[in-house]
Structure 1
Amino acid sequence: MSTVMRRPGLAARFKLATVRTSFVLGSRLAPRRTADRAARLFATPFASSRARARAAAPDAAMRRQTLSIHSQSIATYVWGDPATQPYVLLVHGWSSFGLRFLPWVGRLRALGYAVVSFDQPGHGLSSGHYCTLPEFADTVRAVGRHYGEAELAIAHSLGGAAVALAQGEAWRARKLVLIAPAADMHAAATRYFRFVRLGEHLRRPFYAWLVKRTGITVDELQMHRHVTALGQPGLIVHDLDDADVPWDEGERYARHWPGARLLTTQGLGHHRVLDAPEVIEAVLAFARGQTVGERVVASANLPYGLA
């Protein structure tokens, strides 16, 4: 689900201009067909996800496995033995791939964890073409159930929302770290509409395509409706200069999630925050049981205060 809009190169800018022009014309001449096309594009990961996954060079200790999940072949990457060691589940974001977390693996293994990562449907080396947030969450849950309850889950961007949604009786992680997590699919759709110049009158049929595919409304994907029920400790890491998923979406998680704390960074943006050394150190400290970040307090008199 296209929550992240990167600055395109020359060829991509030409393609973007063509898409925008076709959407402007189509919204007038064939609004329903245009809304469906826009929704399919919204749910189509960038091709760069597959190219970067093929180019990644993991160490010899990694084992590649394939799971069959909801008629898709899901590529997984495993270090250590999740059956006998506490393991960490790593969940990538939109148009990314499981081996994006390679800078984390050695540090997590040094703490005694097994490590599991994977490619979402339509991403990396997994099969599929389209993918939405509910499908992100379903895949997290299915991968997690295969390997068992995780000691820790670390997730980035849309993966953060997916991990939060995936928690429940079927599967859970004992601790959660969400880095630059998306919190509001209404806001993500608004950013997308602006990016591709899609007319606001197409929002209802655009949402209808997503509901038809997943059976879930966009309202149900607002994360403040879910995180109040999370009982495990959580750490939210979000950068003030994140131009893709605004900092206030991460703050919203911490405000509504009783067991979460917020670590705010600056100058890292949406992508560099994932493997910045200071972020990795803070997350490892959290994994060891240290207090990291600030507790966000929300009340009628102090809606955004810190304590």
Structure 2
Amino acid sequence: MRAAGNLFATPFRSSRARALAAPIGNARTGSITVKGQEIATYVWGDPARQPYVLFAHGWSSHGTRFLPWVAKLRDAGYAVVAFDQPAHGRSSGEQATLPCFANTLLEVGRRFGPAALLVGHSLGGAAASVALANGLQAERVMLIAPAADPEAATERFAHMVALPQRLFRALIRSFERHVGVAFDDLQAHHNAPLIARPALIVHDLEDREVPWSEGERYARYWADSRLVTTRGLGHNRIAGDAGTIAAALRFMRGETVGERVVSSPNLPYGIA
């Protein structure tokens, strides 16, 4: 069980090498300390003087994966801030969890101030939801292929490592004891209703890592949100896709993007 727990909290070994080899463009690099970990930051423009966009990457990824966004955002007058989560990229540490992701995002946001737009991809989307529900400030929010259900994610992990079903619940209980947070407190249905900011959720129907239904779930529970559904971009390409970036720029201009997801006792979900 301990071995499974350690594996669950450890990013893929190859991810740090990929991050170190990835281009950073003309970013100004720096670091901040969060709970004893050195967190690598990447800044384009001047977030102290310009409205800025804050990016939160997903599991086994890195902050500079959002480099394709930078030129478009800078042309539109925005500064950009990205960072590497603990145990990822150029940041220190060997292990991380969703609560760790959320806390680090919260501290980065406090350091740079309220963002004009917060963008979270995959587990970064889940971290954004948790951080916003706990005080992170951002004018608008964009979640790309966001993970809504940590229990389902744990079950997918357990299946991947062939963990017997009888040990699945034990793994969850072990995680909750280790981080001091109940799984239910990390669920989309718990956090999304607490967030009073406009949100745009973008998710692909053919996502094989985080099902489209999890993005739909955010849109259902987040009162001021709309959903953009894509096809053929999968889980990773969607984060750097030109259409995704264009949707973000339209969203920041206040244009109507996507469809509203509605829910009622008689209609579990639907598009309005």
Q: TM class, shorter-chain normalised?
A: over 0.9
Does residue 17 of structure 2 align to residue 54 of structure 1? no
- Structure 2 matches for 1:145-224, cutoff 5 A? 145-168=110-133, 170-224=135-189
CA distance in 1 between counterparts of 2:175 and 2:137 reads 26
Picking from 229, 248, 255, the partner of 2:220 is 255
Deviations 1:249-307 (A, max 9, x none): 00000001100100000011101111111111111111111110000000012221211
Does residue 250 of structure 2 align to residue 291 of structure 1? no
Larger strand proportion, structure 1 or 2?
2
Contact between 2:189 and 2:218, CA under 8 Å: does it hold in 1?
A: yes
Does residue 34 of structure 2 align to residue 64 of structure 1? no
* Counterpart secondary structure, 1:254: helix
Aligned-residue offset at 1:209: 2.5
Deviations 1:191-210 (A, max 9, x none): 11111110111123312331
Could you say which residue in structure 1 is the equivalent of 2:208? 243
Letter in 1 for 2:238: V
Letter in 1 for 2:101: F
- Structure 2 matches for 1:1-307, cutoff 5 A? 35-60=1-26, 62-168=27-133, 170-307=135-272
Structure 1, unmatched stretches of 5+, are: 1-34
Contact between 2:200 and 2:228, CA under 8 Å: does it hold in 1?
A: yes
CA distance in 2 between counterparts of 1:230 and 1:265 reads 25
Aligned-residue offset at 1:121: 0.2
CA distance in 2 between counterparts of 1:171 and 1:247 reads 26
Cα RMSD of the aligned pairs, angstroms, is 1.1
* Counterpart secondary structure, 1:211: helix
Structure number, greater radius of gyration: 1
Deviations 1:120-168 (A, max 9, x none): 0000000001100000000000000000011101110000010111115
Contact between 1:75 and 1:125, CA under 8 Å: does it hold in 2?
A: yes
Contact between 1:145 and 1:170, CA under 8 Å: does it hold in 2?
A: no
Contact between 1:207 and 1:217, CA under 8 Å: does it hold in 2?
A: no
TM-score, length of structure 1 as denominator length:
0.87
Change (3 A) 1:296 1:103: same
CA distance in 1 between counterparts of 2:78 and 2:147 reads 27
TM-score, length of structure 2 as denominator length:
0.97
CA distance in 1 between counterparts of 2:160 and 2:258 reads 33
Contact between 2:140 and 2:199, CA under 8 Å: does it hold in 1?
A: yes
Structure 2, unmatched stretches of 5+, are: none
